Structure 1
Amino acid sequence: MTERGMIFNSEMVRAILDGRKTQTRRPIKFPFKDRNLGCELSGNELAGELSARNYLNSPFGKPGDRIWVRETFQGPLFDFDQMDAYCKDSTPFEKAQFCVYKADGKPAPEFFDADDNLHCCWRPSIHMPRWASRITLEITDVRVERLNAITESDAEAEGITYTGFGDLLVDGYRYLWKSIYGDDSWQVNPWVWVIEFKRIGGDGHATD
């Protein structure tokens, strides 16, 4: 089993926490080279590999591997009278329980650093270390397909609910995709990784 970090925005995190999101789609970056042979692979070739359950070239791993969610956060945060203890040994404070998360809807926290300077800010998800992650996912499937192949049930599994942008959940997902990747990104219809997952608890078992 392998663990990898993956960035999710606040909207996606809320959908995972609510139990609404069990899929995510990420663009495939071409040219894509085979890990063994070094030759370039097309989208069709990647799709064929994964449909045959050959996960060698999957950057996200295979079913049974895990993803730890990287989200916008701040931490570790603690009482100022604990600063000396933190400066001597930060390890006991490097836990998710000492962090706050933007997806929870709270304002950016205020805190003092070791030099008594006041700060009020979030830390970007790209800078989240493993210890600060509060959500772990287990991959249940990985496949490759064209973006526009998404179905209504897929859009629901992506966490889309009523959208206000049309009668279909796919319409809501299209709006979300364009908000992340640009107005022309949907029409291009790129090849994407489709990762299906379930959330697991600290004991390694699936959550309800």
Structure 2
Amino acid sequence: MADKPILFSGDMVRALLDGRKTQTRRVITKAAAHDALATFCADFLTLPGNRDLLPVNAVPGDRLWVRERFAVSGIGWGKKPSEAIGGRVHFHADSDHGWQSYWGNWRPSIHMPRWASRLTLTVTQVRVERLQDIRREDAIAEGCPGYVSRDGEDGVSPEEEFHGLWESLNAERAPWSKNPWVAAYTFTVERQNIDTAPVAA
């Protein structure tokens, strides 16, 4: 079992907290991975010894601690995140517009230290597939249940909602139309820091 960090946007953090998100897809970018995909089947990348070709080097049983946009006040105010142990952590995903304007020291998620994380994901499955191969149940697990208008005349399917979400996050580097190879990670969510979360047997 290994512990690894993983970044999520504010909207996706809220979906994790709400229990709506138990999957995430990450674009496969490494040239060696694409060479392997051109020669072997997609499952080749999930075999032991090949996981370093994946965007997140994780297999079932590994734990991922979520990095999100944050600030530290109190003891840690004004210090680097790595030096701010003991300060109070504030999470941008929890803030409304007034709170956002009040805290001017928001730090990017990439700088969140392990001790400040509040969400731990335990990986249960890793698949490699084309983005557009997503199934309805997977779109729902991505936090996209779809919706129907109040009058019941209009609506969006889970797949269509996920399509829109993907474009809002990845349109420039990996647009839906290019149908990129992705790694799909399924996980359980613990609302705890990784160092206090229970370890799976």
Q: What TM-score range do you get, normalising by the shorter chain?
A: 0.7 to 0.9
SS at match of 1:42: helix
Give me the whole-angstrom Cα distance separating, in 1, the residues matched to 2:26 and 2:119.
19
The amino acid across from 2:128 in the alignment is V
- Superposition pairs of residues 33-112 of structure 1, within 5 angstroms: 33=33, 40-42=35-37, 45=40, 47-50=42-45, 53-54=47-48, 56-57=50-51, 58=54, 59-75=56-72, 77-78=73-74, 94=85, 98-106=88-96, 107-108=99-100, 110=102
Q: Does 1:20 align with 2:10?
A: no
TM-score scaled to structure 1, two decimals? 0.76
Q: Give runs of aligned pairs for residues 131-170 of structure 1, distance below 5 A.
A: 131-163=115-147, 166-170=155-159
Give the drift of 1:160.
Answer: 1.0
CA contact (8 A) 2:146 2:160 kept: no
Which 4+ stretches in 1 moved above 6 angstroms?
none
Residues 1:13 and 1:61: Cα distance change in structure 2 (over 3 Å): same
What letter is aligned with 2:138?
D
Q: How far off its partner does 1:23 sit? A: 0.2
CA RMSD, Structure 1 to Structure 2 (Å): 3.0
Cα distance, 1:60–1:99 mapped onto 2, change above 3 Å:
same
Report SS of the residue matched to 2:66: strand
Q: Cα distance, 1:121 vs. partner?
A: 3.1
CA distance in 2, matches of 1:185, 1:172: 15
Q: Does structure 2 conserve the Cα–Cα contact (< 8 Å) formed by 1:71 and 1:128?
A: yes
Q: What residue ranges of structure 1 are gaps of 5+ in the alignment?
A: 35-39, 112-119
TM-score of the pair, normalised by structure 2: 0.78
Match of 2:44, SS state, is helix
Contact 2:70 2:112 in 1 (8 A): yes
Offset of residue 9 of structure 1 = 0.3
Structure 1 residues 94 and 109 mapped into 2: Cα distance closer, same or farther (>3 Å)?
Answer: farther
Count of residue pairs brought into register by the alignment: 183
Whole-Å separation in 2 of the counterparts to 1:122 and 1:151: 36
Task: Tell me by how many angstroms 1:110 deviates.
Answer: 4.6
- Structure with bigger gyration radius: 1
Task: Name the CA distance, whole Å, in 1 between partners of 2:38 and 2:155.
Answer: 30
Structure 2, gaps ≥5 residues long: 149-153
**Structure 1 counterpart of 2:184, from 194, 197, 208:** 194
Going from structure 1 to structure 2, the CA distance change for 1:29 and 1:166 (only over 3 Å counts) comes to farther
What secondary structure sits across from 1:99 in the alignment? Answer: strand
Identity %: 38
